[in-house]
Amino acid sequence: MTQNFDELFNNVSQYLASIDITDETFAEYILQIVQDEGMPVEEQEEIITEFLQEITEIEIKQWVKEIIQLAQDIRTKNEEEKKILELEKLQIQKELEPVVEQRQSRFQPKQLSKEEKLARDRILSQYAYEFEEIVEGADGETEIVFKEKGKQKYIDDSLMNNNVELVKEKERLKKLQHQEQHQKEMARNKANLEKQRLEKEEKKKGTQKREKRRG
């Protein structure tokens, strides 16, 4: 079963090669379409089907449906894994709040007690994280620094709720950039299709001329 988009790309490339479409830009274009979350499934199916029918006479509608479904399955799986990870991080933040609050207090000692350290380590080990330290950032906010499978991560104990508008603006710009890239890809692929069509016509004419000479 296809597990991720890299495997799906290989799947698409292999199928296209089996119907004599060896240019990987076509596989890349199809992957861009099926990964576009803002495009309805029916529209994805229509675009890919029409796109391929300009190249081949082979029936590809069922294959297109299967590829789109595989992409949806992969996206659902990725979203579920992301939600699980986010819930784990939120749970860690919640359970570490008492430790962070005490560390921030001016009236408490800077060093954690033995019991607090044990409680902290127990919480982090439950989620397979290796605790590093609690640090104060440049903006004065306290951050928990820890490692996850060899990679250093940061959790801001304020949950970064003040960054909502910034995130929305970044997503908007990302979407606009994606739309522009999508239009460029469509233009490039149409040009490649026209080139392939002309090459096939020239090849066909050459074959017909040779057959006439033989006759």
- Give CA–CA dist 180/130, Å, rounded: 42
pLDDT at 69 over 90: yes
Whether 171 and 119 map to the same domain: the answer is: no
Q: Which of 39, 108, 106 is nearest to 72 (CA)?
A: 39
Angle, helices 114-126/61-104, rounded to nearest 10 degrees = 180
**Residue 15 domain-assigned?**
no
pLDDT category at 149 given cuts 50, 70, 90 is very low
Whether 104 and 153 map to the same domain: the answer is: yes
**Residue 7 domain-assigned?**
no
Q: Which of 94, 93, 103, 159 is nearest to 136 (CA)?
A: 103
| Stretch 166-188: mean pLDDT | 74
Whether 95 and 154 map to the same domain: the answer is: yes
pLDDT at 131 over 50: no
Whether 187 and 140 map to the same domain: the answer is: no
Whether 141 and 109 map to the same domain: the answer is: yes
pLDDT category at 12 given cuts 50, 70, 90 is very high
**Average pLDDT of every residue of the chain:** 75
pLDDT tens-digit map of 82-100 = 899 888 888 888 877 776 6
pLDDT at 150 over 50: no
Bigger pLDDT: 107 vs 28: 28
**Residue 133 domain-assigned?**
yes
- Give CA–CA dist 47/149, Å, rounded: 41
**Residue 36 domain-assigned?**
no
Whether 169 and 132 map to the same domain: the answer is: no
Whether 186 and 166 map to the same domain: the answer is: yes
| Stretch 60-76: mean pLDDT | 93
Number of structural domains in the chain: 2
- Give CA–CA dist 53/94, Å, rounded: 55
Q: What is the pTM of this model?
A: 0.47
**Residue 152 domain-assigned?**
yes
The range of the structural domain enclosing residue 182 comes to: 160-215
| Cβ 98 vs Cβ 123: under 8 Å | no
Whether 127 and 148 map to the same domain: the answer is: yes
Bigger pLDDT: 51 vs 121: 51
Whether 115 and 94 map to the same domain: the answer is: yes
Q: What is the pLDDT of residue 61?
A: 92
Q: What is the pLDDT of residue 161?
A: 46
pLDDT at 63 over 90: yes
pLDDT at 65 over 90: yes
Q: Which of 125, 146, 134, 147 is nearest to 102 (CA)?
A: 134
pLDDT tens-digit map of 200-211 = 777 777 777 666
pLDDT at 134 over 70: no
pLDDT at 19 over 80: yes
pLDDT at 44 over 60: yes
Of all residues in the chain, the percent with pLDDT exceeding 70 is 66
Whether 92 and 114 map to the same domain: the answer is: yes
